[in-house]
Amino acid sequence: MLIKKLRVIFKKVNGLVNKEDGFVLVFVAAGMLAFLGITALVVDVGTLALEKRRLQNACDAAALAAAQELYYTGDESQAHQKARQYLENNNVMETPAVAVDNQTRTVTVSSSRTREMAFIRVAGINTGTVSARAKAVFGAVTKIDGSRCAVSPLVPFGVPDCAAGFIPGEEVVLKYSAGIPQIHGNFGGLALGGRGANNYGNNIKYGYQGTLGIGSRVLTEPGNMSGKTKSGLQYRLEQCPHTPPCTYDGGYDPDCPRVIIVPVYKPQDLYGRDEVEIVRFAVMLLEKATGSGNQCSVYGRFISMAPPSGTKIVIDPYLPAPGTGPNEGLYAARLLE
Ligand SMILES: [Zn+2]
């Protein structure tokens, strides 16, 4: 009797256990399905996101290059050709649309791409389509705003305008040492946003936080200021976070704090505290300060004709392109959308 009862109880318990196993199995299966579903979604959506990024990059590059072509040649068909060449180089074989507008000097490139889906086909979605669009303009840099930069590329040095233009790699004296009578007290300093050696020294260290434009008239900062120059330069050069530090010969990061934007001004001959007019800008690599005491000189080299990428700039696509190539000022492209 007791054995019979025990058997009944055992069967009930056993049944319960089997039932729970069943629940567990169903739960695990459902979980796995959900997991597989999410994985499939992630893989397919990830693939589409990657395609979208590639396509956007290709459209951006094509629009920027074509806008530059349009600026220098003024020829719409050449701009078209440039855009298609860039798209082809980036494997955009789909039928892209390229619109060149000589009135606004803009180039718009758009394209779309369809990809077969790998996993979410089970949900009836066989393909996914992504599209991208880019609009760009190119022109002369007419204004630079140093306020948005951690370290502003605008420093209180300028170079006089000369007919020869700039030669990339050419070494230029940004600040002279004592004993040069021809400079009439102007050692190379500019009074940006205020006068005096302290302001000058801070502008070397942190960069000028204001705005300078073509046509701006600024005062020179006369005086040797060797000490402020030396300490400012040392601080600024140490801001380069790269190893080895950026140099012209050893290579440099175009966005390094050593990369500076220098106003190019008129006239060449200055006397005491004088006024100059900015006629264009140049990008230089700040290289070194030499000499001790009042013999401190600062040197830089022309490096490129494009501003560091984070710089807030205004560009004018209507300012005529120089006749002798891109070594007569600062030019930049901008994505408008
Ligand atoms: Zn650097």
Answer whether residue 72 shows pLDDT above 60: yes
Mean pLDDT within 187-201: 94
Give the per-residue pLDDT at 206.
94
Mean pLDDT within 215-223: 93
- 152 CA to middle of ligand 1, Å? 14
Give the per-residue pLDDT at 6.
40
Higher pLDDT: 300 or 17? It is 300
Answer whether residue 9 shows pLDDT above 60: no
Answer whether residue 294 shows pLDDT above 90: no
Residue 221 class from Cβ within 10 Å (0-12 exposed, 13-18 middle, 19+ buried)?
buried
Mean pLDDT, the chain, as a whole number?
Answer: 86
Answer whether residue 38 shows pLDDT above 50: yes
- 147 CA to middle of ligand 1, Å? 20
3-state secondary structure string, the chain?
A: CHHHHHHHHHHHHHHHHHHHHHHHHHHHHHHHHHHHHHHHHHHHHHHHHHHHHHHHHHHHHHHHHHHHHHHHHCCHHHHHHHHHHHHHHCCCCCCCEEEEECCCCEEEEEEEEEEECCCHHHHCCCEEEEEEEEEEEEEEEEEEEHHHCCCCCECCECEECCCCCCCCCCEEEEECCCCCHHHCCCCCEEECCCCCHHHHHHHHHHCCCCEEECCCEEEECCCCCHHHHHHHHHHHHHCCCCCCCCECCCECCCCCCCEEEEEEEECCCCCCCCEEEEEEEEEEEEEEEECCCCCCEEEEEEEECCCCCCCEEEEECCCCCCCCCCCCCCEEEEECC
Mean pLDDT within 204-227: 93
- 230 CA to middle of ligand 1, Å? 19
Give the per-residue pLDDT at 330.
85
Higher pLDDT: 34 or 85? It is 85
Q: Per mean pLDDT, which range of 108-117, 159-168, 307-316 is the poorest?
A: 159-168
- 84 CA to middle of ligand 1, Å? 35
Answer whether residue 271 shows pLDDT above 80: yes
Answer whether residue 94 shows pLDDT above 80: no
Mean pLDDT within 115-134: 86
Residue type, 80: H
What is d(CA 123, CA 259) in angstroms, rounded to the nearest whole number?
A: 54
* Helical packing angle, 76-89 and 2-73, nearest 10°: 150
- 240 CA to middle of ligand 1, Å? 4
Answer whether residue 323 shows pLDDT above 90: no
Higher pLDDT: 12 or 126? It is 126
Give the per-residue pLDDT at 85.
94
Maximum CA extent, the chain: 126
- 228 CA to middle of ligand 1, Å? 22
Task: Please list all protein residues whose beta carbon sits less than 5 angstroms from ligand 1, which is an ion.
Answer: 240, 242, 246, 253, 256
- 18 CA to middle of ligand 1, Å? 69
User: Residue 15: pLDDT band by 50, 70, 90 thresholds?
Assistant: low
- 261 CA to middle of ligand 1, Å? 15
- 208 CA to middle of ligand 1, Å? 19
Q: What percentage of the chain carries pLDDT values higher than 90?
A: 52
Give the per-residue pLDDT at 18.
56
- 282 CA to middle of ligand 1, Å? 18
User: Residue 167: pLDDT band by 50, 70, 90 thresholds?
Assistant: confident
Answer whether residue 59 shows pLDDT above 80: yes
User: Residue 217: pLDDT band by 50, 70, 90 thresholds?
Assistant: very high
User: Residue 20: pLDDT band by 50, 70, 90 thresholds?
Assistant: low
- 259 CA to middle of ligand 1, Å? 8
- 246 CA to middle of ligand 1, Å? 4
Mean pLDDT within 154-181: 85
What is d(CA 101, CA 131) in angstroms, rounded to the nearest whole number?
A: 21
- 245 CA to middle of ligand 1, Å? 5
